[in-house]
């Protein structure tokens, strides 16, 4: 049985405008925030689904091609979103903070044993000693709280995380939160 290619024509005209419009109406119903790259991915999926729907559509069912395509798109998009959420959950389960204490070792965190070519605190002190970037270091320090500056000073003096928490009488979470602020890009970019 020969398929009617005119079924595809409205969806392929004007840069696939009708297919994109149909796809967008489905995105809105999912209430998912999508980036421009996500839209491109889903439009690619829609294009592939259009051809799959065309090949599997049977006009004898009494369902219009548009309704059949809409249903196929909904199923494809939903399974793609489910797949993406599953991937995020898997990645979140594997994520470990570099500042988290190593199991059976309260004194060390992953950050202490992972070699790195860049150390924020080392760069801050190195540049301050050379007085070349004094102004940038001062701006960096001005963004930190007094507790964060104290932590920075202790780190530069070679104290370990456990010792700093004891001296400042702060919890592990407070220490970790302070380190995150001290190392965040918004603050560190000042040093460059």
On the CB side of 149, CA atoms within 13 Å amount to 10
Select from 39, 70, 94 the last residue of a domain. 94
The count of domains in the chain is 2
Please tell me what DSSP assigns to residue 133. Answer: S
Does residue 80 sit in the same domain as residue 17? yes
Residues of the domain holding 81:
5-94
Query: Which residues have a Cβ under 8 Å from the Cβ of 182 and sit 6 or more positions away?
Result: 120, 144, 148, 151, 152
The pLDDT value recorded for residue 35 is 73
Q: Is the torsion defined by CA of 148, 154, 158, 164 positive or negative?
A: negative
pTM across the whole model: 0.45
Query: Are 61 and 77 part of one and the same domain?
Result: yes
pLDDT beneath 50, residues of the chain:
1
Q: Which pLDDT does position 2 carry in this prediction?
A: 60
What are the structure tokens assigned to 73, written together? Answer: 């798109």
- The per-residue pLDDT for 182 is 85
Q: What is the pLDDT of residue 169?
A: 92
Predicted local confidence at residue 133, as pLDDT: 56
Task: Give the per-residue pLDDT at 138.
Answer: 79
**What's residue 77's pLDDT?**
86
Report the alpha-carbon distance of residue 188 to residue 133 in Å, rounded.
Answer: 13
What is the dihedral sign for C-alpha 146, 152, 158, 163?
positive
């Amino acid at each position: 049985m020969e398929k009617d290619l005119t079924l595809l024509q409205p969806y392929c005209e004007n840069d696939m405008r009708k297919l994109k419009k149909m796809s967008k109406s489905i995105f809105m119903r999912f209430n998912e925030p999508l980036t421009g790259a996500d839209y491109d991915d889903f439009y690619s999926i829609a294009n592939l689904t259009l051809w799959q729907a065309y090949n599997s559509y049977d006009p004898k069912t009494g369902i219009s091609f548009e309704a059949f395509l809409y249903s196929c798109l909904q199923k494809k998009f939903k399974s793609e979103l489910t797949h993406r959420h599953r991937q995020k959950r898997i990645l979140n389960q594997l994520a470990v903070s570099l500042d988290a204490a190593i199991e059976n070792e309260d004194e060390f965190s992953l950050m202490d044993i992972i070699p790195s070519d860049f150390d924020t605190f080392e760069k801050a002190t190195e540049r301050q000693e050379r007085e070349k970037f004094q102004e940038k270091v001062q701006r960096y320090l001005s963004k930190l709280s007094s507790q964060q500056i104290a932590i920075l000073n202790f780190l530069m003096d070679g104290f370990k995380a456990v010792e700093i928490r004891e001296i400042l009488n702060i919890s592990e979470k407070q220490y970790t939160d302070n380190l995150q602020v001290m190392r965040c890009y918004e603050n560190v970019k000042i040093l460059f």
